[in-house]
A and B are shown apart, each in its own frame.
Chain A
């Protein structure tokens, strides 16, 4: 919980990771390049006081995660969104066992989402069923730009991807987070392209599709799709830290998202450990659309409360203390939007 000027905010960090990118876990040069790329994001967009030493960044472990998120970072609940990257790391990038054990220890604070790759075919589908049971999955994180043999990416509307989404629907994994953002090798199978979301959002209306990084660098394509599909949501991972280095640009992103979507479909994420939530939460609560940007309405306290936690809490059925709720909770609005559609 974060409190400022008499207002209390329920904070749900919808995208965090527990990764291991130490040299002994790097399978090849790409493993090093990948974490170096993350570290450059971290150094480039964090305030100087929040920059970690490189060694800490390679691996930080559960204890530091708990401290950074919950002790120092005001977070009430966080959701793991792992990237596996087996082509780059010996024992995967996201640490499944360690992260899941933490959620078992702190079930009120942490939710574990797992990942899948439809290119594993029947074996992967079997694994998904086992994982859903083992982790009691409510959500998953999909990384369509993963390397696999000669393939450098896949699409949500591939035939096998549909089989996995059908299984997810049956298993109650209703929240599908998709990485659509900077990085990684899109050749003709453009891994940034958000067009495949359009198709699956129409075909799987029971599922929620959270586009991480809100489609940046293709904000316009994302907005166009999200306007038409009420089950498409924006995750603010990577967009958030612009609040520090490029506040006017951040204002434009938030302004556009509020215009094309609405205040109930935008979720706060720190993308920990790329950034720590503390300063992002503080800055967002203090943030306002600059007065000369007359094309955007000012951000109200209720909008900030929804973005910082209430929207994702509603999606994940995570209880929110009554005193932290707003008059028009996102859960009610969601039903309304679906009725219109």
Chain B
């Protein structure tokens, strides 16, 4: 059933690693997709045995949800391979036990809060990319003036699209008149705080980028050949000349 397999892969594009803010398909975390005898089976793999189990569970259960939506009457099996909690997570997924049901007393809270934390970080990073890109394109622009930049004032392109998507995921308005540099609730900061807020946003962006580099590299080390399943992490417009770095790392 190649059509279903293709459909399944496309569906998995919408499953994100919350900490890296990238689809699990681009990261190479999808090991296999097979539709056989009315059963859709997907194997997932992660960069180390010790990847945090709450993230692993989140991705695996999100995968099961989107696959169930395309599988119709067929049974959906999601298996997380080679993880220290593989058995626990795979049993929980098979039984649709949920996060609390899977991990028991160790998981006191559901995963919504964790998801929200990382959506906020992803938004802050996207905001920094957009504004730093603007600063690089206009070296004479004082940082404080970023206070007045609105969504409509950003150049069209991937970085702006990414910011709009992150705003939408947080429930923030995407109207062109909205200010770009805002807190997690969409409120702008006082003008004098702009340099500090931008700086803090930058450290969040560096964290996320760094984790993504690290996890991609570890996956390639752990599973030789997995590089063919990975897409290159999108070029960061706030940092020029990354081409040489990519070459050295691969």
A residues bordering B, Cβ < 8 Å? 29-30, 33-34, 36-37, 40-41, 43-45, 150, 152, 182-189, 192, 216-220, 223-224, 242, 244-249, 252-253, 256, 259-260, 290, 292-293, 295
Say how far B237's CB is from chain A's closest CB, in angstroms. 13
In addition to A187-B52, A247-B245, 11 A-B residue pairs with Cβ atoms within 8 Å of each other are A40-B222, A44-B220, A185-B50, A187-B54, A219-B204, A220-B200, A220-B203, A245-B248, A245-B249, A247-B248, A249-B245
B73, CB-defined interface residue at 8 Å: no
The reply to whether A248 and B221 contact each other, CB–CB distance below 8 Å, is no
Q: Is the CB of B203 within 8 A of A33?
A: no
B172 CB to closest chain A CB (Å) equals: 20
A44, B239: Cα distance in complex, Å:
23
The reply to whether A37 and B49 form a contact with Cβ atoms under 8 Å apart is: yes
Chain B interface helix/strand/loop/mixed: helix
Do the beta carbons of A292 and B241 come within 8 Å of each other? yes
CB distance from A186 to the nearest CB of B (A): 5
- Tell whether A217 pairs with B200 under 8 Å between CB atoms, given A33-B84, A40-B222: no
Q: Of A150, A218, A219, A248, which contacts B239 at CB under 8 A? A: A248
Bound: A219/B213 CA distance, A: 15
Q: Is the beta-carbon distance between B207 and A220 smaller than 8 angstroms?
A: yes
Determine the chain B residues whose CB is within 8 A of the CB of A184 once the complex forms: 50, 52
Bound Cα distance A189, B19 (Å) = 17
Question: With contacts A30-B84, A33-B84, A40-B221 known, is A248 near B242, CB below 8 A?
Answer: yes
Q: Can you list 29 A-B pairs with a CB-CB distance of less than 8 A?
A: A33-B50, A34-B49, A36-B49, A40-B221, A40-B222, A44-B218, A152-B106, A183-B48, A183-B50, A184-B50, A184-B52, A185-B85, A187-B54, A187-B106, A187-B107, A189-B106, A219-B203, A220-B200, A220-B203, A220-B206, A223-B203, A246-B210, A248-B239, A249-B206, A252-B206, A253-B206, A253-B210, A259-B199, A290-B241
B53 / chain A contacts, CB cutoff of 8 Å: 185, 187
Answer whether A292 and B240 are a contact pair too, CB < 8 Å, given A182-B214, A185-B84.
yes
A178 to chain B, nearest CB (A): 18
Query: B210 to A242, Cβ gap below 8 A?
Result: yes
> For residue B217, which residues in chain A have a CB less than 8 angstroms away from its CB?
44-45, 245
User: Would A260 and B48 be within 8 Å (CB), given that A40-B218, A219-B210, A253-B210 are in contact?
Assistant: no
Does B245 contact A246, Cβ atoms closer than 8 Å? yes
Leading 10 A-B pairs by shortest Cβ distance: A33-B49, A220-B203, A44-B221, A219-B207, A183-B50, A220-B204, A37-B48, A217-B211, A187-B106, A44-B217
Give B193-223 interface residues, CB cut-off 8 Å to A: 199-200, 202-204, 206-207, 209-211, 213-214, 217-218, 220-222
Q: For the complex, what is the distance from the CA of A33 to the CA of B245, rounded to whole Å? A: 30
